[in-house]
Amino acid sequence: MNKKGILLVISGPSGAGKGTLCQALLNEEQSIFLSISATTRPPRAGEVDGVHYHFLDKDIFEQMIKRDQLLEWAEVYGNYYGTPVQFVREMQEQGRDVILEIDTQGALQVKKKFPLAVLVFIAPPSRKTLRERLVSRGTDAPAEIERRLSCAAVEMTLALKYDYLVVNDEINRAVVKLLSIVRAEKCRPGFFEGLIRDFS
């Protein structure tokens, strides 16, 4: 009877732990599908085309924008990132749940197009913890860490536009909160139109 799926949008500052949380959610709820974004940034070591991202040349990405093949797109840290619309459309037609792990600019575009999308902001417990995480990750130079911290300051101001905020202080606790959000959202009466009609 539950024919519709939810569109779950996860954002948050770099280093907040969005990727780990999304992965944990996907492991817990096998009925959720992750949208693979397109990007013009080069792959990092260990990243696989079609698994982590669809790695595209800039001209191909721009063609996708022109042809309206992206549900949303944004320029983040000097590269393009976007959500291919076809996958999301297919999943929605099949009534499946989809997660988009995208930046705040993209998330707000999705909310405009799909007001029922559920926007979840993942926040680090403090600015100090975020800095420590970015430093201990060891992937970015000090100047890049400063840039990410000032982006985080801007992103945090957008958190109030989201439906939920999950503080990722401890991963297991944060996963439970995220799962609770998904489960509660799936109990909205709008998802049960078939069941309701069945009684008329």
The single-letter code of the amino acid at 47 is: E
Write out the binding residues for ligand 5GP, residues 18-37 only, by CB under 6 A. 37
What is the distance between the alpha carbons of residues 71 and 64, in angstroms, rounded to a whole number? 10
Question: Closest by alpha carbon to 80, among 115, 39, 127?
Answer: 39
Q: Which is nearer to ligand 5GP, 66 or 197 (CB)?
A: 66
Closest residue by beta carbon to ligand 5GP: 106
9: β partners: 100, 119
Contact status: 103 vs ligand 5GP (CB under 6 A):
yes
Q: Which is nearer to ligand 5GP, 104 or 175 (CB)?
A: 104
Helix (H, G, I), strand (E, B) or coil at 107: helix
Least distance to ligand 5GP, CB of residue 149, Å: 14
Contact status: 101 vs ligand 5GP (CB under 6 A):
yes
Contact status: 105 vs ligand 5GP (CB under 6 A):
yes
Q: Which residues have a Cβ under 8 Å from the Cβ of 62 and sit 6 or more positions away?
A: 80
Question: Closest by alpha carbon to 38, among 52, 61, 54, 49?
Answer: 54
Per-position x/- string for 37-76, each x denoting binding to ligand 5GP as judged by CB under 6 A, each - no binding:
x---x------------------------------x-x-x
Contact status: 122 vs ligand 5GP (CB under 6 A):
no
* DSSP secondary structure letter of residue 99: E
CA atoms within 13 Å, Cβ hemisphere of 31: 15
CB atoms within 10 A of CB 65: 12
Structure tokens at 39: 């990007």
Longest dimension (CA), the chain: 64
Least distance to ligand 5GP, CB of residue 181, Å: 18
The only residue of 102, 130, 174, 175 in contact with ligand 5GP, by rule CB under 6 A: 102
Which span (24-32, 103-111, 159-167, 185-193) binds ligand 5GP, by CB under 6 A? Answer: 103-111
Which span (1-9, 81-89, 114-122, 192-200) binds ligand 5GP, by CB under 6 A? Answer: 81-89
Q: Point out which residues bind ligand 5GP (CB under 6 A).
A: 14, 37, 41, 72, 74, 76, 81-83, 101-103, 105-106
